Amino acid sequence: MRTFVRVGLFVACCWLYLNAAAAKEPTLDIYWVDVEGGAATLIVTPAGESILVDSGNPGVRDPDRIAQVATKLAGLRKIDHLVTTHYHTDHFGGAATLAKALPIGVVHDNGEFAIQTERPSKEYLEFPCDKRIQIKPGDQIKLRKADDANALLPVIKCLCARQEVVGPPPNVRLARNPLMSEAVRKPDDTSDNANSIVLLVEFGGFRFFDGGDLTWNTEEKLVCPFNIVGEVDVYQVNHHGLDNSNNPVLIKSLRPRVAVINNGPTKGCMPLTYGTLKQLDSVKAIYQLHKNERPDGDENNASAEFIANPQGQKCEGNHIHLQVAADGKSYTLSIPARKHERKYDVKGG
């Protein structure tokens, strides 16, 4: 009898150990927080370091939703890095209130610059943080290593800011993009959308593109005459899926496998953008934070299982979660509230 008890205890201990080890897998996690058509993308590294890209709208709702995901789901006590892609209130408006709930470390934004036409609020400029940095094309956000010496270290690089695009890698000869012949320019965008900071996140073979609200002509500069970005696994659809962004030349050059749209019930998911994504053979899934409820919604909506908040104006604030495996060779997208989960292999794996 004692032998059976000992064996049972041994098996139980092994089970607990294996589950504890699994819980500590050094994954890269990305959360798209629902801020009702604003933007708030939370990245958590294997070391538990956090990077929040944009902070949603002013008021209590969006900062509260960000804080809930950060603390209860990601287990964070601080936002280590805040990247504000540009100075529109649906991207910076929640920062000052969020700073009252969670300490904010380094703020990376456009600072003040020569072609600046729009400025953030006094509250944004004065909320407490450890440091403020004007990010530049080519800069990398300095990240700390995980305790596990074998864990991959993510790389988060700024590709574009204030309409200036990083140059090709040194000592690398890039072929001219054959899609250049399809490029069509639009009148210059004088809004601050055009100045959006563009980030590329790499983790092993996994690659993720977040371009804020970058608009048409600056998008072209990222891939023409040379594709500075390369192909990606996941494309956060620029500007909530509006058609003055999401230049087809950009999307076709990135060839994403998955697209995620941080839209609102009547904001984003426009016909040209949706048409480009649906026609691209590389795209296997389109995720949305909200069901598109405009009259064109039937044509410009993903399947119901890929929509986090399909209930229209009675929004529950559901988020989308992406987890990249510790080896960087696969990733899983889930909508926990909808019981959706699907695994994808990275393109470079």
Q: Which of 15-19, 108-112, 134-138, 227-231 has the lowest mean pLDDT?
A: 15-19
State pLDDT tens for residues 243-299: 999 999 999 999 999 999 999 999 999 999 999 999 999 999 999 999 999 998 889
pTM recorded for the entire structure: 0.92
Could you tell me if residue 203 is inside a domain? yes
Please indicate whether residue 177 or residue 14 has the higher confidence score (pLDDT).
Answer: 177
Could you tell me if residue 174 is inside a domain? no
How many angstroms separate the CA atoms of 211 and 119, rounded?
Answer: 19
Could you tell me if residue 180 is inside a domain? no
β strands within the chain, DSSP E? 28-32, 41-44, 50-53, 79-83, 104-109, 131-134, 155-161, 164-165, 198-203, 206-210, 234-236, 258-261, 285-290, 307-309, 320-324, 330-335, 340-345
Alpha carbon 146 to chain centroid, angstroms: 21
How many domains is the chain built from? 1
The pLDDT value given to residue 249: 98
The domain that holds 316 is classified in CATH as 3.60.15.10
What is the extent of the structural domain holding 80?
Answer: 25-112+124-142+151-168+189-345
Average pLDDT of the segment spanning 96-123? 97
State pLDDT tens for residues 6-63: 544 444 444 444 444 445 689 999 999 999 999 999 999 999 999 999 999 999 999 9
332 CB burial (10 A radius; 0-12, 13-18, 19+): middle
pLDDT tier for residue 305 given thresholds of 50, 70 and 90: very high
